[in-house]
Amino acid sequence: MIINTKTLVSITEANQNFSKVARLVDENGIAVVMKNNVPRYVIMEFSQIEQEEIAEQEDVMTLSKRFINKNREAYEALAK
């Protein structure tokens, strides 16, 4: 994962100034909260999570269709 340094904020600063974190998310789509100088938490817009879930489900469906088409004969034999 590539992290934009503009989106980094310390956990202390996030605790004391959450509105800054919210602004970072509004401007950049994401904020990364550091704990002990290590990326620990990711804050993003809720709508972005919903979009990721939809994409994940589409990927599963695409893979399922590919496996079914590739192994159609075996599935038909098992169905008998």
Judged against a pLDDT cut of 90, whether residue 22 lies above it is answered with yes
Is 2 found in the same domain as 37? yes
Total domains, the chain: 2
Which residues pair with residue 43 across a beta bridge? 31
* 30 and 4 housed in the same domain: yes
* This prediction's pTM: 0.59
CA Rg value for the chain = 21
Domain CATH for 35: 3.40.1620
Residues 27 and 51 occupy one common structural domain: no
Beta bridge partners of 79: none
66 and 77 in one domain? yes
For residue 9, the enclosing domain spans 1-44
| 38 and 64 in a common domain | no
Q: What is the pLDDT of residues 44-74, one digit of tens each?
A: 988 877 776 666 666 777 777 777 887 788 7
| Positive or negative torsion for Cα 65, 70, 76, 77 | negative
* Distance in angstroms (rounded) separating the CA atoms of residues 69 and 62: 11
pLDDT of residue 78 exceeding 70? yes
What's the average model confidence in pLDDT over 21-48? 92
CB burial of residue 78 (10 Å; 0-12, 13-18, 19+): exposed
